[in-house]
Chain A
């Protein structure tokens, strides 16, 4: 079942091979625990220490007394419910807008043969070459004063939702998946008299669950993790997502409270990851090597 790798199974079966294997294995476990788990542990326990204890040298490995006040203070003082809610609204909207407009556009480009479809696709793929961050300033100016209708989207979740649709990577992922769907099934539906929207809704989308899952996760994570764009767009504190609020408030707040807020800000994405880890990890591997 398992494929042959660099080291042969025969070599691993020998006593010396076995000993070496378990040494390396233990080394990697220790390394991973120290490098990746310990910082997270330090953060979660740091928030539970008293302000005195957290500043003590040498530090305590386990909090002497577990204070939950760091967490409750963060929740109340830093208005975390408000900022978390803002982030949820921004992420959910971006996800929904992407799902509706990107799937529709990908379906059109993949199956409906629009005139100049190649040109449109080329224009979309060209945006992959233009690094998004390098264009934040003109994008900001555009959002502050939309062309033709001259409306400002600043401090409005639409400033996150609409630009999120212009995601060439997700659109291309969807298009490529739609390209590979069996043509005879779609033709059969057409002969049965189903309209294009009906075909998209009842046949294409149910067959595309895996790719829709990947795109959904990418869309949610991207908004939750973003910093520079929301920092520019939301000057109004009440509208800021958690990432911006954390940085803005980090200057004037007690260390333990800030650390507690950092833990709380991380929980949703880490939880999402732990729940969907199989799909996420498989998606990263598959998406990258096939390209």
Chain B
């Protein structure tokens, strides 16, 4: 509001001599009509945001403090939902699994795409082919890639163990072993999502001015030194952004554990989102589900805030 007020004097000087003097109030009425029109355009989108984004966010917080069963009057229960959820042994397992999953996904799903993009950027042939092939798994529905890898991990005729036997390596339990299940799921998620990251890194690499490499080479920098002192500093921002986005995305992992392991074996792959789903649809405990959602929300909100802070400060610079 203060902005329009500040703009008015300048407008008055520039516009008045040209426009015919309008009766008092005419301008106000015009403005009201303009506003009504503007809000007419906004209405549909605004309603959808209000009902399906803003309202559920507020509701999550409210229901987290209620005993809530659909169809009956909600009851205030204070922090009972939180204490109940906190004492659930699955709670610790879910958070430990989610954080481990995120960390492993970061270690695997972070270095590999960067290296791939670095190599792909140097290849001068079949560029389109590489880009299409690396992105192909992203276009396969996540449910299909999860079911596909569930079949690969099959202890009987699964491709994963066949490959190990072919290479004369000891076979593994993959997603069926308590200690290997989580890593197996990280491999699936990385395979399915890496294409997008590679393409974004490639775009970032292509925006590095060639003169920087030329200058470094004239100064006698070796290949690794050029990577270290030109490529990495030049792409640092994109890398950091993707890292944060990946953390936010992998902390909400659901499809892979739900489809491949069902949270097992022995809760080894129960994730926070999976637990939220279980509370709501298996235990019919919507209060507990919302209490968990709020915890996840706060943590992810923090990461998002860092992300936005970084993008904004980069935009100012």
Which chain A residues have a beta carbon within 8 Å of chain B's beta carbons? 2-8, 12, 21, 24-25, 28-29, 32-33, 35-37, 39-40, 42-43, 46, 54-59, 100-102, 104-109, 112-115, 117, 120, 123-124, 127-131, 133-147, 162-163, 165-166, 168, 171, 196, 200, 221, 224-225, 227-228, 232, 242-244, 246-247, 250, 255, 258-259, 262, 265-266, 269-270, 272-274, 277-278, 280-281, 284-286, 288-289, 291
Q: A259 — which chain B residues lie within 8 A by C-beta? A: 151
Question: Could you jot down 18 A-B contacts, CB within 8 Å?
Answer: A35-B191, A39-B191, A104-B45, A108-B39, A108-B42, A109-B42, A112-B37, A124-B49, A129-B305, A135-B56, A137-B279, A141-B286, A243-B144, A250-B259, A259-B151, A262-B144, A281-B135, A285-B206
In the complex, which residues of chain B have a beta carbon less than 8 angstroms from the beta carbon of A140? 280
A130 lies within 8 A of B191 (CB): no
Task: Please pick, from B68, B123, B248, the residue contacting A131 in the complex, using a CB distance under 8 A.
Answer: B248
8 additional A-B residue pairs with CB within 8 Å, beyond A39-B191, A130-B57: A6-B227, A25-B125, A57-B162, A134-B300, A138-B63, A142-B55, A166-B48, A289-B207
Is there an interface contact between A163 and B48, defined as CB atoms closer than 8 Å?
Answer: yes
B219 to chain A, nearest CB (A): 13
**A142→B157 CA distance, assembly (Å):** 45
Which among A55, A112, A131 has the highest number of chain B CB atoms within 10 Å?
A131
A115 near B52: Cβ-Cβ < 8 Å: no
Report which of A4, A106, A232 forms a contact with B281, defined as CB distance below 8 A. A232
Q: At the interface, yes or no: B85 with Cβ under 8 Å from chain A?
A: no
The answer to whether B210 and A4 touch across the interface, beta carbons within 8 angstroms, is: yes
B75 on the interface (CB 8 Å rule)? Answer: no
Residue of B nearest to A263 (CB): B144
* Stretch of B15-23, B101-109, B194-202 at the chain-chain interface: B194-202
The reply to whether B41 and A107 form a contact with Cβ atoms under 8 Å apart is yes
A21 to B126, CA, bound (A): 13
Sorted nearest first, the 7 A-B pairs with minimum C-beta distance are A4-B210, A285-B203, A105-B45, A108-B41, A112-B38, A165-B48, A114-B38
Question: Interface 1/0s, chain B 237-252, versus A by CB < 8 A?
Answer: 0100110000010011
Q: Are B132 and A274 neighbours in the complex by a CB distance under 8 Å?
A: yes
* B118 located at the interface, meaning its Cβ lies under 8 Å from any Cβ of chain A in the complex: yes
User: Which one of B76-84, B89-97, B178-186, B290-298 is at the interface?
Assistant: B290-298
The secondary-structure label for the interface of chain B is helix
Chain B residue at smallest Cβ distance from A124: B49
Which B-chain residue is minimally distant from A250 (CB atoms)? B147
A102 to B248, CA, bound (A): 25
Q: Which residues of A contact B172 (CB under 8 A)?
A: none
Instruction: State in angstroms the CA–CA spacing of A107 and B45 once bound together.
Output: 11
CA distance A259 to B258 in the complex (A): 18
| Chain B residues within an 8 Å CB radius of A130 | 53, 57, 297, 300-301, 304
A-B contact number at CB 8 A: 306
Q: Is the CB of B141 within 8 A of A142?
A: no
Also in contact, A5 and B205, with CB within 8 A (given A24-B123, A133-B254): yes
B141 pairs with A269, CB closer than 8 A? yes
Chain A, residue nearest B42 (CB):
A108
Cβ of B255 under 8 Å from chain A: yes
Q: Which of B34, B41, B51, B151 contacts A105 (CB 8 A)?
A: B41
Instruction: Report the minimal beta-carbon distance from B114 to chain A, rounded to whole angstroms.
Output: 13
Question: Which residue of the partner chain, among B124, B209, B255, B305, contacts A227 with CB atoms under 8 Å?
Answer: B255
- Determine whether B233 belongs to the interface, using a CB cutoff of 8 Å to chain A: no
Q: What B residues does A134 contact at CB under 8 A?
A: 252, 273, 276, 293, 296-297, 300
Q: Are B42 and A225 in contact (CB under 8 A)?
A: no
B60 on the interface (CB 8 Å rule)? yes
CB closest chain-A residue, reference B280:
A137
A2→B57 CA distance, assembly (Å): 48
Question: Do A59 and B38 touch across chains, with their CB atoms under 8 A apart?
Answer: no
A286 to B157, CA, bound (A): 43
Please, which residues of chain B bring their CB within 8 A of the CB of A39?
Answer: 137, 148, 152, 159, 191
- Across-interface contacts of A291 in B (CB, < 8 A): 241, 311
With A and B bound together, what is the CA distance between A146 and B213 in angstroms? 58
Contacts of B277 in A (CB 8 A): 136, 228, 232
Which residues of A sit under 8 angstroms from B55, Cβ to Cβ? 142, 147
CB-nearest residue of chain B to A104: B41
Interface string of B126-164 (1 = CB under 8 A from A): 101011111111011111100110011000110100100
Contacts of A284 in B (CB 8 A): 135, 196, 199-200, 203
One of B35, B52, B166, B213 near A4 (C-beta < 8 A): B213
B202 to chain A, nearest CB (A): 7
Cβ-defined partner of B53 (8 Å) among A12, A32, A166: A166
Tell me which residues across on chain B come within 8 A of A106, comparing CB atoms. 45
Partner among A40, A136, A141 whose Cβ is within 8 Å of the Cβ of B276: A136
A27 to B165, CA, bound (A): 23
A250 to B151, CA, bound (A): 11
Q: Is the CB of A5 within 8 A of B133?
A: no
Q: Tell me how far the C-beta of B115 lies from the nearest C-beta in chain A, rounded to whole angstroms.
A: 11
Residue of B nearest to A195 (CB): B37
Chain B residues contacting A255 (CB-CB under 8 Å) are 151
Residue picked from A4, A102, A289, most chain B C-beta under 10 Å: A289
Q: CB-CB < 8 A to B137: which residues of A?
A: 36, 39-40
Q: Which of A33, A135, A228, A280 has the most CB of B within 10 A?
A: A135
